[in-house]
Amino acid sequence: MVMSRHVKLTIVVFALAIAAARNANAQKSPASPDAQADTQAITKVLKTQVAAWNRGDIGEFMFGYWRSRYTEFESDSGIYQGWDDVLKRYEKAYPNRAAMGQLTFSGLEIHVLCPDSAYVIGKYRLDREKDHPEGVFTLIFRKFSDGWKIVNDHTTSFQTPKQ
């Protein structure tokens, strides 16, 4: 039986949710120094992305993603596979500074699962002259020799109320 990519992604997200629920219900213990350092490194990737976005530098923003044909981005506009396709999607959706607006992340939760795997959930908001799109995201990170990189980004936009 061949599973579609959507079914595989659903299984992965479900497995991560179960792991998170188990972790939340487990007795809390202080994070290891390695997990704290990994959390700080992932936070730095996200802060670097926000700064690059707010300068209008999509190329620098994309440095946070794994430069691989296996990188994936899912949203209401579709599934994009490969770093190059993710870059093209960003360039098409945000052709200029006005379209990019000012990006902020909030409610970030970073969960280091093991020495080379983590996921982040959070909210995003774009402040633009005429609107303020926002939504939520789940980012799956892997640790490579050159640091933590996003290997999968699942972003969901909220419906913006009509004004």
Q: Which of 1-15, 78-92, 93-107 has the lowest mean pLDDT?
A: 1-15
Residue 153 confidence (pLDDT) above 90: yes
Token look-up 């213990």 returns 29
**Cα-Cα-Cα-Cα dihedral sign, residues 148, 122, 89, 5:** positive
Whole-model pTM: value is 0.80
In three-state secondary structure terms, 148 is strand
User: In the chain, what are the domains?
Assistant: 32-157 (3.10.450.50)
For residue range 27-54, what is the model confidence (pLDDT) as tens digits?
333 457 789 999 999 999 999 999 999 9
